[in-house]
C-alpha cells in the first residue's frame, strides 16, 4: 500500500500532518499510532504462535513411536490357508 511512497512523499505527508494537527498534538498522535502498531504486531504474532502450538507434541511423539515399533505377529490369508491344508 505505502511501498510506492518515496522520501519526498514522506516529507510532504509529515509537513501536512504538522500543519493540520500542530506541533503540540503531533507527538500524541505519533504515540497513539505507535501503540496501535505494537498491539497489532503482538496480536498477529500471537495468532501465528497459536497455530504452531495447536499440534500437540505429545500426540506427534505417540504417532512416531507407533510407527517405529515392529509388528509382533503378522497374519496373512496365505498363512491361514497353508495351516488349514
What string of DSSP letters covers 23-54? HHHHHHHHHHHHHHHHHHHHHHHHHHHHHHHT
Tell me, yes or no, whether 45 lies in a domain: yes
pLDDT at residue 5, as a whole number? 80
> Per-residue pLDDT for 79 more than 60?
no
Mean residue pLDDT of the chain comes to 76
Q: What is the pLDDT of residue 19?
A: 93
State the residue range of the domain holding 63: 25-67
| 28 against 72, higher pLDDT | 28
Identify the DSSP state of 62: H
Interacting residues of 29 by C-beta distance below 8 A, sequence separation 6+: 17, 21
Asked whether residue 1 is domain-assigned, the answer is: no
Q: What is the CA radius of gyration of the chain?
A: 32
Residue 62 forms part of a structural domain: yes
- At residue 70, the pLDDT reads 60
pLDDT tens string 29-58: 989 999 999 999 998 888 777 666 555 555
Cα 76 from Cα 73, distance rounded (Å): 10
Amino acid at each position: 500500500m505505502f511501498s510506492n511512497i518515496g522520501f519526498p512523499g514522506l516529507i510532504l505527508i509529515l509537513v501536512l500532518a504538522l500543519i493540520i494537527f500542530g506541533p503540540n498534538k503531533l507527538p500524541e498522535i505519533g504515540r497513539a499510532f505507535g501503540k496501535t502498531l505494537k498491539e497489532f504486531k503482538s496480536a498477529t504474532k500471537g495468532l501465528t504462535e497459536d497455530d504452531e502450538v495447536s499440534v500437540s507434541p505429545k500426540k506427534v511423539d505417540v504417532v512416531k513411536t507407533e510407527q517405529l515399533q515392529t509388528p509382533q505377529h503378522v497374519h496373512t490369508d496365505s498363512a491361514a490357508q497353508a495351516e488349514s491344508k
